Amino acid sequence: SQQGEEDPQALSIQEGENATMNCSYKTSINNLQWYRQNSGRGLVHLILIRSNEREKHSGRLRVTLDTSKKSSSLLITASRAADTASYFCATDHGSGNTGKLIFGQGTTLQVKP
Amino acid sequence: ETGVTQSPTHLIKTRGQQVTLRCSSQSGHNTVSWYQQALGQGPQFIFQYYREEENGRGNFPPRFSGLQFPNYSSELNVNALELDDSALYLCASSLVRQNTGELFFGEGSRLTVL
């Protein structure tokens, strides 16, 4: 069963605006990851944050993790039309990096030019 | 480009048939995981192979089985296909038990069961 919950399910913004997606999970994690998927294609890893980290940056991406609330957010700044895709959070609940991930249902982001 | 290749990209089967999907891992990766993604859903973990042994399984019945070969390529076999098996099947390779935790996905095999 899928443990991650993401919101919103869909998000539509204008180019240049920021996009924020949220993810919640139920049990303790080793790490939380965000992936991107263009329509019907494979997933691409964006960023990984470990359970002892609170914030991480990669280019225009900023991820936060609040383990007390069992939640994470992904912020994409200065969005571009090419950012249009589905975004999934995925949690690893094993001891160490197991690679056995539980994915959320995803947020579909549309960036209008 | 992740270096993970899957075949076939699309296939159509009828209920009750059997299917084999193939995956070639990224060079140097010792672990392969398979995920099923139904339309509009997130991927669900099927199982993982490490050094040719099954290393964990999700909530999937035994008619879903797999193999990993010495060159780390892998197969997913599904017997007695059901309509609900229609989905995108994703293979992901990784270096678990190392410091990295991310998965490298192929483009998937889209299976339609009629």
Q: What is the pLDDT of residues B98-114, one digit of tens each?
A: 657 889 999 999 999 99
In this prediction, residue A111 carries a pLDDT of 97
* A63: chain B residues, CB-CB within 8 Å: none
Contact B33 A100 (CB under 8 A): yes
Contact B44 A103 (CB under 8 A): yes
Q: Which of A97, A79, A94 is nearest to A36 (CA)?
A: A79
Residues B104 and B93 sit within 8 Å (Cβ to Cβ): yes
* B99: chain A residues, CB-CB within 8 Å: 97
Residues B90 and B104 sit within 8 Å (Cβ to Cβ): no
Nearest to A105 among B35, B41, B106 (CB): B41
Q: What is the pLDDT of residues B27-47, one digit of tens each?
A: 778 899 999 999 999 999 999
Mutation test of the interface with chain A: which of B29, B48, B57, B102, choosing the one with the most A Cβ atoms within 10 A?
B102
Cα separation, B43 vs A1, whole angstroms:
10
A81 interfaces chain B, CB cutoff of 8 Å: no
Q: What is the pLDDT of residues B45-76, one digit of tens each?
A: 999 998 899 999 999 999 999 999 988 899 99
Contact B99 A106 (CB under 8 A): no
In this prediction, residue A1 carries a pLDDT of 47
Listed in order, strand segments (DSSP E) in B1-99 are: 5-7, 10-13, 19-24, 31-37, 44-50, 53-57, 64-68, 74-78, 87-94
Which two structure tokens, joined as six digits, stand for A37? 């998927």
**CA dihedral for A61, B40, A99, B24, sign (positive or negative):** negative
In this prediction, residue A110 carries a pLDDT of 98
Cβ density class B30-55: b for 16+ within 10 Å, e for less: bbbbbbbbeeebbbbbbbbbbeeeeb
Strand A85-92 to A61-66 pairing: unpaired
Which two structure tokens, joined as six digits, stand for B59? 């909530």
Give Rg (Cα) of chain B. 13
Cα separation, A104 vs A3, whole angstroms:
7
Q: What is the pLDDT of residues B5-17, one digit of tens each?
A: 999 999 999 999 9
Cα separation, A106 vs A90, whole angstroms:
10
A24 interfaces chain B, CB cutoff of 8 Å: no
Cα separation, A36 vs A46, whole angstroms:
7
User: CB neighbours (10 Å) of residue B13?
Assistant: 16
Contact B105 A88 (CB under 8 A): no
Nearest to B96 among A42, A90, A99 (CB): A99
* A103: chain B residues, CB-CB within 8 Å: 35, 42-44
In this prediction, residue B26 carries a pLDDT of 81
Which two structure tokens, joined as six digits, stand for A28? 């303790």
Residue A11, C-beta contacts closer than 8 angstroms, at least 6 positions apart: A19, A21, A107, A108, A109, A110
What are φ and ψ of residue A103, in 5° steps? -95, 150
pLDDT along chain A (113 residues), means of 10: 78 98 93 93 94 96 97 98 97 84 96 95
Task: Determine the distance in angstroms separating the CA of A78 from the nearest CA of chain B, rounded to an integer.
Answer: 24
Tokens 């480009």 belong to residue: B1
In this prediction, residue A9 carries a pLDDT of 95
* B105: chain A residues, CB-CB within 8 Å: 35, 42-45
